Amino acid sequence: MTKTASLCALAGAVLFNVAPVDAAPATHSKDPPAVKVALRRVTESQYRHTIADVFGPGIKVEARFEPERREDGLLALGSAELSLTSAGFEQYFALASSIADQALSEKQRQAIVGCTPADPTQADAACAREFITKYGELLFRRPLKQAELEPRLESAALGATQAKDFYAGLELALTSLLVAPDFLFRIESAEPDPANPKQQRLDAFTKAARLSFLLWDSSPDAELLAAARTGAIHSEQTLRAQIARMIASPKFEDGTRAFFADMLQLDGFGNLVKDPTIYPKFNQAIAESAREQMLLRTVDLLVHKQGDYRDLFTANETFINRPLASVYNVAYPSKAPWAPYTFAADSERSGILTDIGFLSLHAHPGTSSPTRRGIKLLEIFMCQATPQPPANVDFSKVQDSTQGTVRGRLLDHMENEGCSGCHKRTDPLGLALEHFDGLGQLRTTENGMPIDVSADLKEGRIEGARGVGEYLRNDPRVPACLVRNVYSYGVGRKAFGRDRPYLAAQTKAFVAGGYRFPALVAQIASSPEFFSVAAPKAQAAAPVAQATVTQLQPSGE
Amino acid sequence: MKLRFNRRSVLKGLLGGTAVYVGLPALDAFLNSNGTAFANGAPLPVRFGTYFWGLGLTDTPTGGTRWVPSKIGPGYEIMPELESLAALKDKVSVFSGFRVIGDGRANLVHWSGHASILSGIAPAAASKFDGPSFDTKVADAIGTSTRYKTIDIDASVSRQPVSYSTRTGSTFASPDATPLALYTRLFGPGFQDPNSDDWKPDPSIMLRQSVLSAVTEQRHALMKGLGKADQMKMDQYFSAVRDMENQLAVQLQKPEKCESCVVPAAPKELPRAASVDVVNENTKTMAKLLAMGLACNQSRVFTFVHTAGSSETYMAGQSKIYHQITHDEPTDAQLGYQPETSKLASQVMKGLGAFLTELDAIKEGDGTLLDNSLVMAFSDTGYAKIHAIENIPMFLAGRAGGRHKAGQHIAGKGDSVTRVSLTAMQLAGAPVGEFGAGSMKTSNPIHEVMA
């Protein structure tokens, strides 16, 4: 491997000398080299949204994307640490060819290419240049440098000549844009701040991309790129105007869905399995519907109704479809694929925690799991991590779970010193949700015994799922956690101690404004801290010793 | 430079109507190639793979072992949890008594064990390794002349695809997780039947190569200004691009004939459930495909996950999962072990038995594919009830083309697990003399099993 690596490095070095890079239109050759402050792999949904925005929604994106990883509660933080594997690149390569093929099909090319070659059976350098320049900027989220344009022009010429088809040449050029690291990763760059030359600031294109990935879960559009090209994006006025425009756009719903799909950890549904002998109603359609239900509820409350974030935990209004109606055991009179549904005021169901999505995702294949639900509730909504369970747990006293309720079994953890510290925090909240089985179906008994859903918390005693909902609604850690997540998700790094005053101020404003999500996003995206530069470390960061249970599979509960 | 202009000249040759196979890129892969000679009677290549299952085997502190044979050396007796290996016993060596030595690092449950075995370093944090997994080193050494450097497979039907193969320690391989996905990778588009008589190079492959060279030309510019961690990520990206280039270059070569290669039919999709019967069925189906993929020379290296470290598998119809049972079930005072847990461990081992049987079913030369392979099978833990990282069960299966003196039981007496890993690397033909860090650093493989 080293031999090949050095060969490539050599090739790169020689090339650099032989063919000096021309200054790109938007950069100045006298500038010191840009500092690349971060490299974040584009997520699957960002990829899909970008392709739809750039080439139209008709393009099919069929591939298996690389698995993402959660760090500190967010995939957005994990993707900042991930690279690509060989199998992953293979998928991207095949996908790039397929997208280029579709985008330049006879039906599409008219709308997409924008210029007409003098002779469609031959290469046409001028039209190819126009095409590559335009799509290069949309895909790389910045103008192409001369050295990036040239090889693609060559590819286009070779392909056109060989296939006697101008568009076949463009296909090659486009494929090579789509597999470039500049597209597959978000490369964030900084430059000296003209107002304070000793300090770095994010360059204009990096700023534009941060905004659009946070607000739209997609690449910047032409208007935002224009604001970056002129540098106008550095002015507060333009920045605020762009944010307002972007929040008013229907694409803000995409951005909101992507954020909550990440924060609510909805990525586990694709592979959720339940034992069919225990939960015969469960199937893949239920899993997908359960996921969609949580997003519909969230987007409707926060974007369409511009509602109070805290209502997410207590509101009776949700959406259901036919498969879900069977699990909720309610009628589905509508002919539409989805319909609004309001649970009765005395129902045990209210708020997102009683959606079967939350309840079934955080359970075992054949049972519920109060510990898992408790851990996830603390982690997702309150940003409270739970440490890994100790290795040498003594379970010898645990009871047989074929008798009685799970509460009895968990009490043994509470008596064990090594376990009680965490289980005292996690289990009560989960036990209060025990009227819902591993699929989220309502029940009142387990193994013939009535289930006690009361729970003693530090703050007092709560009763059942409604009690949990009220508890979250009133806990100040809940809005603070949302604020921290929006910020970390947007900037792609964990919040540190030095971010604390900033996050506290943002939370205060969020609370004062009535817990409105769009206002929160606007306020964070327009703050200077959102664009502050964290210099890259010269050494690879030491791994954090404290483990969270994010990826932890069932612990011994 | 050489790489780039060869590409270009190939294309120009193509345009000028020259025969397309005259100007193949001189990739390192071809210079290093060590196994394309079997058509003219040279030794068959050795294949290497890892096989992982979760939750260990039963060996309790009270002495109730269900897998450690009492006899050391050749001719060990088959213990109850090894029953499914009985038929292949002469091709399998058993390693007991090897342990992870953390040098003060915490035992991260269901993680430290396999992280140490694969990377040689006790990990600082769960979900990451502190170094690359060693299968990637073997792949770099023996895997470059086939279409795929490595094939990563996950049979576990888990929530997330599971793989413990990593080059950076943080980005793990994305495995094929269904039989159909594996079939498509091995025998779907791009597969060239080595025994086909009318092989012609596909000229579009060269155009695809030009697409990649536009990317690799930017390597230097991209690396500039990146922080260390980001450089590592970019390195891995370019290493993935190189693997793709290698794949294309291999496809431009007329494949060597492989007698034992018979292209299989596409598999049917199995029901998605994580119960142990389904996972074992998955394992068998995917092992069959993999074995044929190896026989058809699509790859020489693989990683296989039967069940994850904190396995979610269960007996169909049982509400508790295996993992929970390992912790909850009391030790039977009379038997000295947990009977239900041991039953499940035997079920899980049926997966390994089925896997190896499929490799052994393919005739190659005078022996079988398994005879020309080395499979290191291992788990994340020893005695799962207490998350022990002592006495982690490890096996080396297959004769590695005669290099492995198989069929022995080696007692490690508290030695580091990395000794077994190093042995595996050397038997597979990787030029590695030393492996591991701290107390787990070793340059001392297990000579008893090396011919």
Rounded to 5 degrees, what are φ and ψ at B74? -70, 155
User: B441 and B126 in contact (C-beta within 8 Å)?
Assistant: no
Report yes or no: B114 at the A interface, CB cutoff 8 Å: no
Give the contacts of B27 (CB within 8 A, at least 6 positions apart): A4, B3, B245, B246, B249
Q: Using the beta-carbon criterion (under 8 Å), do B172 and A36 form an inter-chain contact?
A: no
pLDDT at residue A3 greater than cutoff 60: no
* Section B365-385 average pLDDT: 95
Residue type, A128: A
Q: Phi/psi zone of residue A130: left (φ > 0), alpha (ψ -120 to 50 degrees), beta?
A: alpha
**Chain B partners of A389 at a C-beta cutoff of 8 Å?**
109
Report yes or no: A386 at the B interface, CB cutoff 8 Å: no
Whether residue A468 is found in the same domain as residue A485: no
Rounded to 5 degrees, what are φ and ψ at A535? -65, 145
Q: What confidence tens digit (pLDDT) does each residue in B168-223 have?
A: 998 999 999 999 999 999 999 889 999 988 888 888 888 889 899 999 999 999 99
Three-state DSSP class for A65? coil
Q: Which of A277-291, A405-419, A478-492 has the highest mean pLDDT?
A: A478-492
Report yes or no: A83 at the B interface, CB cutoff 8 Å: yes
CB within 8 Å of chain A, chain B residues 27-56: 27-28
pLDDT at residue A4 greater than cutoff 50: no
Q: B48-199+267-449, which class in CATH? A: alpha beta
Least reliable range by pLDDT among A56-70, B286-300, B406-420: A56-70
**pTM for this structure?**
0.84
**Chain B partners of A554 at a C-beta cutoff of 8 Å?**
310, 312, 321, 323-324
Give the contacts of A346 (CB within 8 A, at least 6 positions apart): none
Segments in A104-203 forming alpha helices (H): 109-113, 125-140, 146-163, 166-178, 181-184
Q: What local confidence, expressed as pLDDT, does residue A458 receive?
A: 86
Q: What local confidence, expressed as pLDDT, does residue B331 receive?
A: 87
Report yes or no: B205 at the A interface, CB cutoff 8 Å: no
Q: What local confidence, expressed as pLDDT, does residue A432 receive?
A: 95
Q: What confidence tens digit (pLDDT) does each residue in B18-65 have?
A: 333 333 333 333 333 333 333 334 467 899 999 999 999 999 877 789
User: B353 and B307 in contact (C-beta within 8 Å)?
Assistant: no
Q: What confidence tens digit (pLDDT) does each residue in B301-358 have?
A: 999 999 999 888 999 888 889 998 998 888 888 898 999 999 999 999 999 999 999 9
Residue A204 located in a structural domain: no
Residue A418 located in a structural domain: yes
- Pair of tokens at residue B300: 């020489």
Q: What local confidence, expressed as pLDDT, does residue B320 receive?
A: 87
Least reliable range by pLDDT among A6-10, A487-491, B123-127: A6-10
Whether residue A465 is found in the same domain as residue A487: no
Point out the residue among A365, A401, A553 whose CB comes nearest to the CB of B308: A553
Chain A residue whose CA is closest to B381: A391
Between chain A and chain B, the number of residue pairs with CB atoms below 8 A apart is 308
Residue A218 located in a structural domain: no
Chain B residue whose CA is closest to A536: B227
Residue A485 located in a structural domain: yes
Report yes or no: B78 at the A interface, CB cutoff 8 Å: no
Of the three residues A474, A493, A517, the one that is the final residue of a domain is: A474
Q: Give how far B377 is from chain A: nearest CA, Å.
A: 22
The domain in which residue A506 lies consists of: 477-531
**Chain B partners of A151 at a C-beta cutoff of 8 Å?**
213-214, 217
Report yes or no: B288 at the A interface, CB cutoff 8 Å: no
Q: What local confidence, expressed as pLDDT, does residue B23 receive?
A: 31
Q: What local confidence, expressed as pLDDT, does residue A386 receive?
A: 85
Q: Identify the band that residue B17 occupies on the pLDDT scale cut at 50, 70 and 90.
A: very low
Q: Using the beta-carbon criterion (under 8 Å), do A159 and B319 form an inter-chain contact?
A: no
Give the contacts of B353 (CB within 8 A, at least 6 positions apart): B84, B85, B87, B88
Q: Identify the band that residue A33 occupies on the pLDDT scale cut at 50, 70 and 90.
A: low
Output the CA torsion A282→A284→A287→A293 (10° steps).
-110
Q: What confidence tens digit (pLDDT) does each residue in A296-325 have?
A: 999 999 999 999 999 999 999 999 999 999
DSSP class of residue B59? Answer: B
Which element (helix H / strand E) includes B293? Answer: helix B276-295
CB-based burial label for A129 (10 Å; 0-12, 13-18, 19+):
middle
* Section B404-415 average pLDDT: 97
- Pair of tokens at residue A487: 């910020």
Q: Please report, for chain A, how many H helices and E strands are present, in that order.
A: 23, 9
Of the three residues A442, A457, A474, the one that is the final residue of a domain is: A474
Q: What local confidence, expressed as pLDDT, does residue B11 receive?
A: 40
Q: What local confidence, expressed as pLDDT, does residue A403 receive?
A: 65
The domain limits of chain B are: 1-32+202-253, 48-199+267-449
Residue A117 located in a structural domain: yes
Reported ipTM:
0.86
In angstroms and rounded to an integer, the radius of gyration of the C-alpha atoms of chain B is: 22
User: A434 and A406 in contact (C-beta within 8 Å)?
Assistant: yes
Q: What local confidence, expressed as pLDDT, does residue A23 receive?
A: 34
Report yes or no: B387 at the A interface, CB cutoff 8 Å: yes
Q: Using the beta-carbon criterion (under 8 Å), do A147 and B221 form an inter-chain contact?
A: yes
Report yes or no: A401 at the B interface, CB cutoff 8 Å: yes
Of the three residues A155, A187, A219, the one that is the final residue of a domain is: A187
* Section A238-265 average pLDDT: 98
Over chain B, what is the mean pLDDT? 88
Number of domains in chain A: 3
Whether residue A417 is found in the same domain as residue A277: yes
Residue A32 located in a structural domain: no
Q: Identify the band that residue A196 occupies on the pLDDT scale cut at 50, 70 and 90.
A: confident
Whether residue A422 is found in the same domain as residue A444: yes
Whether residue A462 is found in the same domain as residue A487: no
C-alpha distances (whole Å) from A523 to each of A207, A224, A243, A507, B361 are 15, 18, 9, 10, 65
Report yes or no: B207 at the A interface, CB cutoff 8 Å: yes
Q: Give how far A185 is from chain B: nearest CA, Å.
A: 9
Whether residue A263 is found in the same domain as residue A274: yes
CB within 8 Å of chain B, chain A residues 23-62: 33-39
Q: Identify the band that residue A393 occupies on the pLDDT scale cut at 50, 70 and 90.
A: low
A500-525: b or e for each residue (b if 16 or more CB lie within 10 Å)? Answer: eebbeebbeebbeeebbbbebbbbbb
**Chain A partners of B1 at a C-beta cutoff of 8 Å?**
10-11, 14-15
**Chain A partners of B185 at a C-beta cutoff of 8 Å?**
87
Q: Identify the band that residue A544 occupies on the pLDDT scale cut at 50, 70 and 90.
A: very low
pLDDT at residue A52 greater than cutoff 70: yes
Q: Identify the band that residue A174 occupies on the pLDDT scale cut at 50, 70 and 90.
A: very high
